[in-house]
Structure 1
Amino acid sequence: MGSLGIVTNDPSPYSVHFHLTGFGRFHRVSQNPTEFLVKQFVSFCEERRGLHEAARVVTTTVATTSVKGAQQALDEVYGKLHRDKSVRNVIIHCGVDASANCFRLEERAYNEASFSCPDESGWQPKVVPIDDTKPVDSFLVTSINIRQAVEELEKKGFHVKSSEDAGRFLCNWIYYQSLTRAQCEFSVKVVFVHFPPIQDSQEIQSYCEFLLQLLNVITTHELSSIDE
């Protein structure tokens, strides 16, 4: 991968490694925008050349919309983390919400799988704990400052909101599992982003721009926290 950074006068000795996941099609969505988003994002950054100098997009993974597919995606991402004190790893899971009309940054993931439709392997759990050692109504919270990120992205002109409910389908499932795994890692943060459905293929470019600016916001925050 070529350099995706912007030039600064004071390059940081630290870097932020981003790992992106999206989902493929599923029951109600024949074209999942996060599949195209994740596949096109690196080339978009290379053309746009707007990514922070300290940021690197290390992995881009599209998961089959099933528990098995999500688990495989997590295994791939966590297997490629760069475990070094000079690196901060940030995992961004992307999914589509067919009813959404804006970008949503999810603050929480709940320990409940209640699928409104079967996943691509045919499984459709109802009120099943993701982690059976914890109550089904328990939840995990991202360590990323979602409210601050939303505020900064709004200033950049994006229609974006924070959310405390990622649903109970695969989006929530992968988020809960990822937050659980991140607790056992050094300096790994996780966030889930819900995207609206696309009306035409041109919208993917605007989704890429939003994701790029989200990465820049997170990178700036991460570098600032190191300096404190």
Structure 2
Amino acid sequence: MGSLGSSTNDACSVHFHLTGFGRFRLVAENPTELLVKQFPSFCEERRELHESATLQTTTVAVTSVKGAQIALDEVYSKLQTDKNIRNVVIHCGVDASATCFRLEERAYNEASFSCPDESGWQPRAVPIDDTKPLDSFLMTSLDIRRAVEELKKKGFDVKCSEDAGRFLCNWVYYQSLTRAQYEPNTKVVFVHFPLHLHSQDIQNYCEFLLQLLNVITIRELATI
């Protein structure tokens, strides 16, 4: 299996950085916080992480713009610049209206929060990057449509989405995609999870995430 925090084969490896969110106004206990905290031990127990994959960091962000910025700074400070290493940042968030797993293809340059973040900020139609049009967007460079196909074959209810909303999930995704443009060998994707809190649901989330990492690893190794 792969490793947690170190790579068994730095000559050809994929380093994963995983983030989730803490509580916010509409979600007293965020399942992505539980997911991020439980995922390392889940991988150790299952021992099915691809041998060339490394779970490098796991970070839970305070659900505010400031908290998300701190989390991004932490993640991006840990990226590797070796040309034979692919850095993959996976941001996880919850969508109370979601009925399946969603891999987000794009992030829009707009912050229109439906409720205040945990610091009390609630922007309306504010550009995330004020040098670009409000309706502009950035897209992940990962082949998530193929990843969705592979995950469906494994029995998961998952789809590709073109709209991550305009709340903090979209904000952190846009900011991360922007930063990844200036980082060698770095790719980013955002995953939306349904709102469930039962222990079995979190285990299912961990299983989905494990298989997503493996699918991405196999694909990225072919391009390194």
TM-score with structure 2 setting the length: 0.96
Q: Are 2:169 and 1:171 aligned?
A: yes
Q: Supply the distance in 2 between the matched residues of 1:201 and 1:135 (Cα, whole angstroms).
A: 42
- Contact conserved, 1:21 with 1:62, CA < 8 A, in 2? yes
**Residue from 13, 16, 38 that aligns with 1:15:** 13
Task: Give the aligned residue type for 1:171.
Answer: C
Distance 1:152 1:168, change over 3 A: same
Q: Are 2:114 and 1:110 aligned?
A: no
Q: Supply the distance in 1 between the matched residues of 2:23 and 2:197 (Cα, whole angstroms).
A: 15
Q: Supply the distance in 2 between the matched residues of 1:136 and 1:18 (Cα, whole angstroms).
A: 30
- Contact conserved, 1:88 with 1:222, CA < 8 A, in 2? yes
Task: Give the aligned residue type for 1:136.
Answer: L
Q: Which residue of 2 aligns with 1:202?
A: 200
Q: Supply the distance in 2 between the matched residues of 1:28 and 1:185 (Cα, whole angstroms).
A: 34
Q: Supply the distance in 2 between the matched residues of 1:220 and 1:146 (Cα, whole angstroms).
A: 13
Q: Supply the distance in 2 between the matched residues of 1:143 and 1:70 (Cα, whole angstroms).
A: 22
User: Residue by residue, what CA displacement relative to the aligned partner does 1:37-63 show, whole Å, maximum 9, x if unpaired?
Assistant: 001111100000000000000000000
Task: Give the aligned residue type for 2:175.
Answer: Q
Q: Supply the distance in 1 between the matched residues of 2:174 and 2:11 (Cα, whole angstroms).
A: 31
Task: Give the aligned residue type for 2:73.
Answer: D
Q: Are 2:31 and 1:27 aligned?
A: no
- Contact conserved, 1:24 with 1:32, CA < 8 A, in 2? yes
Q: Supply the distance in 2 between the matched residues of 1:46 and 1:80 (Cα, whole angstroms).
A: 22
User: Residue by residue, what CA displacement relative to the aligned partner does 1:112-166 show, whole Å, maximum 9, x if unpaired?
Assistant: 0000000000000000000000001000000001110000000000000000000
Q: Which residue of 2 aligns with 1:220?
A: 218
Q: Does the residue aligned with 2:91 lie in a helix, a strand or coil?
A: strand
TM-score with structure 1 setting the length: 0.94
Q: Does the residue aligned with 1:81 lie in a helix, a strand or coil?
A: coil
Q: Which residue of 1 aligns with 2:50?
A: 52
Task: Give the aligned residue type for 2:46.
Answer: R
Q: Supply the distance in 2 between the matched residues of 1:170 and 1:200 (Cα, whole angstroms).
A: 24
Q: Which residue of 2 aligns with 1:97?
A: 95
Instruction: Give 5+ residue unaligned stretches, structure 1.
Output: 6-10
Shift of 1:4: 3.5
Q: Which residue of 1 aligns with 2:188?
A: 190
Q: Which residue of 1 aligns with 2:160?
A: 162
Q: Supply the distance in 1 between the matched residues of 2:198 and 2:21 (Cα, whole angstroms).
A: 18
Shift of 1:13: 3.3
Distance 1:12 1:57, change over 3 A: closer
Q: Does the residue aligned with 2:175 lie in a helix, a strand or coil?
A: helix
Identical aligned residues as a percent: 76
Q: Supply the distance in 1 between the matched residues of 2:64 and 2:11 (Cα, whole angstroms).
A: 39
- Contact conserved, 1:4 with 1:46, CA < 8 A, in 2? no
Shift of 1:199: 4.3
Q: Are 2:38 and 1:40 aligned?
A: yes
Q: Supply the distance in 2 between the matched residues of 1:13 and 1:205 (Cα, whole angstroms).
A: 32
Alignment length (residue pairs):
219
Provide runs of 4+ in structure 1 moved above 3 Å: none
Q: Does the residue aligned with 1:209 lie in a helix, a strand or coil?
A: helix
Q: Supply the distance in 2 between the matched residues of 1:168 and 1:103 (Cα, whole angstroms).
A: 18
- Contact conserved, 2:138 with 2:177, CA < 8 A, in 1? yes
Shift of 1:79: 0.3
- Cα RMSD of the aligned pairs, angstroms, is 1.1
Q: Which residue of 2 aligns with 1:124?
A: 122
Q: Which residue of 2 aligns with 1:152?
A: 150
Q: Which residue of 2 aligns with 1:64?
A: 62
Task: Give the aligned residue type for 1:212.
Answer: L
